[in-house]
């Protein structure tokens, strides 16, 4: 499989991703930017300094003015591009992937990278058509300015107690410092930078990875817990009882807070990814907002947020976007969460108590051939032609009281399926109906159920 994904580059270091690749990629990016100003940063993985050094070599060979931000969270890199008036950025990171992986996130200009632009870079790199020049390197200390920029949006709060689980990632020093400055009591968990991620998996969106955090919150009597991913652009929140909030539930809390006081139509727009629970759209409408469903993926949500000049955006994975920033930012999300708690004077569980919960499955990853993928994506809309169907990202069929979403993976030989129902009974009914009326998908779901049954005995 290619290391060129839909909107970034990701692969195993030393196998798919090498210093030679990084150098060529740097010269390709430098060529696309005509030797302009580029800010470069990286996460804490052991391979990052090597890849970053090679990347910078390539950028310099294309005549770029390289501003090296060092080890920084991805959120700070987006700020740095604007603050330094850079033409583009490259962040060396594999985000939430295991430590053996690495990759590149990038921007060329003010808008997120598109699939088309990334594929054009790939073709240019393969052709070896590079700009030649003599670039210039300089250090760019951005963390202090980034921290001050985020902190300025928020007043000091009540001395709430928050457990910060940085997972040994990029926010290990940054987040505790900013939260302390606002008067919060911070209990640090895995806040020593170590890109081997020795204490927990860098993906906080998997509940099993946060079991220890949930237990510590209860033991410490904390008001909130927050966990970040490896490069610090996603946040997952945990309430005082140790209950982990999915990303769409956190987004609902922000919707209620923001739409209550939103002054303009644009500020009432909420962009959300197609995998989110229907509660996001329902709550947005309830508070007088306009829900805008979008394809899953950071690039797609951010682009839609900018195009619509929307007030909020979010993904179930923990990316949370804010109109005043024009981007996602996990530290901003944490401070806003604490501000809401501080003003409410109630435990988080009480604030969430009246938000309906609709039973929803995780992504069911079903191994299958390309032919089976095609068959499912053709059979599903045909079988439910009299239903509302959305094809912005795979096929999403809306039922009375629920939905099903099927998406073909572009990186693995499988299809992912997710179901939701407004009750457990309705969820089961939708799953049964889909399995009966879409034969190929029904067979794969049956195989999955049989293998799980066999594994449990």
Q: What are the catalytic residues?
A: 10, 95, 319
| Phi, psi angle pair for 191, to nearest 5° | -105, 30
Strand, helix or coil for residue 331: helix
Q: Which residues pair with 11 in a beta bridge?
A: 102
Tokens of 144: 């202090």
What's the CA gap between 171 and 229, in Å, rounded?
9
Q: 218-252 burial, b if ≥16 CB within 10 A, otherwise e?
A: eebebbbbbbbbbbbbbbbbbbbebbbbbbbbbbb
Helix or strand (DSSP H, E) at 9: strand 9-12
Number of other CB atoms surrounding residue 328 within 10 Å: 25
Tokens (6 digits) for 270: 């909420």
**Run of H or E residues at 322:** strand 320-322
Strand-pair partners of 389 = 397
Q: Is 334 helix (H, G, I), strand (E, B) or coil?
A: helix
Token representation of residue 407: 């998406």
H and E: helices and strands count for the chain: 15, 20
**Whole-angstrom Cα distance, residue 422 to residue 428?**
10
Q: Closest by alpha carbon to 76, among 174, 182, 156?
A: 174
* Residue 67: CB atoms within 10 Å: 22
């Amino acid at each position: 499989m290619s290391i060129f994904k839909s909107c970034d580059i990701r692969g195993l270091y030393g196998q798919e991703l090498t210093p030679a690749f990084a150098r060529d990629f740097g010269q390709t990016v430098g060529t696309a930017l005509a030797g302009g100003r580029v800010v470069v940063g990286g996460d804490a993985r052991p391979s990052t300094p090597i890849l970053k050094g090679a990347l910078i070599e390539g950028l310099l060979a294309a005549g770029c003015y390289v501003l090296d931000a060092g080890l920084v969270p991805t959120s700070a890199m987006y700020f740095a591009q604007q603050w330094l008036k850079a033409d583009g950025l490259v962040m060396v990171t594999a985000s939430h992937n295991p430590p053996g992986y690495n990759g590149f996130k990038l921007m060329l200009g003010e808008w997120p990278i598109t699939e088309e632009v990334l594929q054009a870079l790939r073709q240019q790199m393969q052709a070896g058509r590079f700009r030649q020049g003599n670039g210039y390197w300089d250090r760019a200390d951005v963390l202090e300015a980034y921290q001050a920029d985020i902190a300025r949006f928020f007043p000091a709060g009540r001395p709430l107690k928050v457990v910060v689980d940085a997972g040994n990632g990029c926010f290990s020093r940054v987040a505790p410092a900013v939260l302390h400055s606002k008067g919060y009591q911070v209990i640090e968990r895995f806040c020593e930078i170590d890109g081997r991620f020795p204490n927990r998996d860098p993906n906080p969106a998997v509940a099993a990875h946060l079991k220890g955090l949930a237990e510590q919150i209860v033991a410490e009597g904390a008001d909130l817990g927050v966990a970040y991913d490896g490069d610090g652009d996603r946040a997952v929140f945990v309430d005082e009882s140790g209950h982990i909030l999915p990303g769409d539930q956190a987004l609902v809390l922000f919707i209620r807070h923001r739409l209550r006081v939103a002054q303009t139509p644009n500020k009432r727009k909420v962009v959300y990814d197609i995998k989110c629970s229907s509660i996001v759209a329902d709550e947005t409408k309830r508070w007088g907002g306009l829900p805008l469903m979008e394809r899953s993926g950071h690039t797609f949500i951010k682009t839609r947020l900018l195009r619509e000049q929307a007030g909020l955006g979010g993904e179930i994975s923990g990316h949370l976007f804010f109109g005043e920033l024009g981007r996602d930012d996990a530290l901003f999300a944490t401070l806003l969460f604490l501000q809401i708690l501080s003003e409410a004077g109630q435990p988080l569980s009480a604030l969430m108590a009246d938000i309906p919960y609709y039973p929803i499955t995780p992504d069911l990853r079903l191994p299958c051939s390309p032919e089976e993928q095609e068959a499912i994506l053709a059979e599903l809309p045909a079988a439910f032609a009299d239903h509302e169907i959305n094809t912005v990202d795979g096929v999403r069929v809306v039922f009375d009281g629920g939905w099903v979403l099927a998406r073909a993976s572009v990186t693995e030989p499988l299809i992912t399926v997710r179901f939701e129902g407004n009750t457990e009974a309705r969820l089961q009914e939708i799953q049964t109906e889909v399995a009966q009326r879409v034969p190929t998908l029904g067979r794969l779901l049956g195989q999955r159920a049989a293998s799980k049954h066999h594994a449990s005995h």
